Structure 1
Amino acid sequence: MIIEIAAEGGFGGIAAASVTKRIDLDQQGARMRQEFCDAFEPDELARLASQPCTTCADRMTYRITLTDDRQQSRIFTIREDQLPPEMLDLIDQM
């Protein structure tokens, strides 16, 4: 599976630089691969994306694209406050 993350946003009307990250889990060790697969499970991303976000003004927005072995992609748009800290840490590791 390939995980691609495009992050953009701003604060106080000042746009932050956009960031794009990509990781091919087939090229990672078993522990890291499992950690990312567990955290970026499609049903969990869909659940996070569907949660209301009342404190999301002026926060980062993450567009997370998951591409499986059959080259089928799913895209999720999630705001920074909707992501658990552990997932933000994994994004930072990418």
Structure 2
Amino acid sequence: MEQRDNPSAESVALRLQWLRDYLGLSQTEIASSIGVKTTQWNNWERAHNRLSLTGGLRLGQVYGVSLDFLFLGRVDTLQHTMRTAWLSSPRVNSSKKSSENPDT
């Protein structure tokens, strides 16, 4: 299984946006569910600030997503339905395409 270790703030933000969309939650709802302010979540999701370890741990406790996925993009740590959704995501497919072939 492909491992894409990409810890950049922008890559983490992409995974946070995807997770929230996958869960069907607003920024306010997901922020509240893990005990942070909406502005903090927004800063993480826009890569203005890096996701904190505490925030990542809370996401894991509440939604079952691993730190390896959040910080490194390791999809093999996701439960099957999440992994399938992630791999079929248009954002993921377009970012894979652009990273594999910079001319596309």
For the aligned pair, the TM-score class normalised by the smaller chain equals 0.3 to 0.5
Greater helix proportion: 2
Greater strand proportion: 1
Q: TM-score, normalised by structure 2?
A: 0.30
